[in-house]
Amino acid sequence: MSRQIFLDTETTGFDPRHLTNPDRIVELGCVEMVNRKLTSNNLHFYLNPERDSDEGALRVHGLTTEFLRDKPKFAQVASDFLAYVRGAEVIIHNAPFDVGFLDAELKRLEMGSVRTVVAGVIDTLALAKEMFPGKRNSLDALCDRLEVDNSGRTLHGALLDAELLADVYINMTRGQDALLMESASTETAGPAVDLVDLRGIELPVLMASEQEIEVHAQTVEQIDKSSGGKAVWKQQEIVVQS
């Protein structure tokens, strides 16, 4: 069974390790997906951070000190949170930020760190930068690019953002995980699949003709000229020769 948790936090600011007045988590949202299907077994807390939010952070999430005053403190929900994510693969957009805050909260309680209880952490921001280099890769930008409806996102909210991230991730990985089959599943019956041993089959090797080799050489030469003699393979040849 593949269990993944999409996680997001909202915070009072950006520095969870400040010596005198560290920033704290004000909202925690988690969305569960099992075998690429959302389960509705979500986890969501508003939290009393025991301090005011910075003005900039307040403009982002809109969670006032008055609203959060009667909400539970992180210490009251820490055990439930760890039990929920234990053994799962956790998926976060800009993971170092959220993991940093969660680890700071857990450290105060002497309860270890996130990575000691989960199966792994995937950073969708890093994944997006690999897939879409040179482009904006914020959650909103990815929603627009992958046609995920984020019209309800007027303010940042941890649970809403986790739900959007789940949709974004499914679209980003479509064609990869989507083709995986759960071999242990007996819920759907179908025809048996015959496994064929291909190790004894010798595949033919097709060599380029002289004409194709000549055309290739001419094309490479044209590219080199267009780059002013700065083609990558030319530079590699210089390094090897030296």
Which entry of 18, 44, 156, 216 is annotated as an active-site residue? 156
Euclidean distance between CA atoms 239 and 170, whole angstroms: 43
Nearest to 231 by CA among 240, 223, 239: 223
Of how many residues is the chain composed?
A: 242
* Torsion, Cα of 208, 214, 220, 221 (10° steps): 170
Active site residue 156: yes
Task: Count helices and strands (H / E) in the chain.
Answer: 9, 6
- Amino acid 31 reads V
Euclidean distance between CA atoms 212 and 218, whole angstroms: 10
Task: State the catalytic residues.
Answer: 156
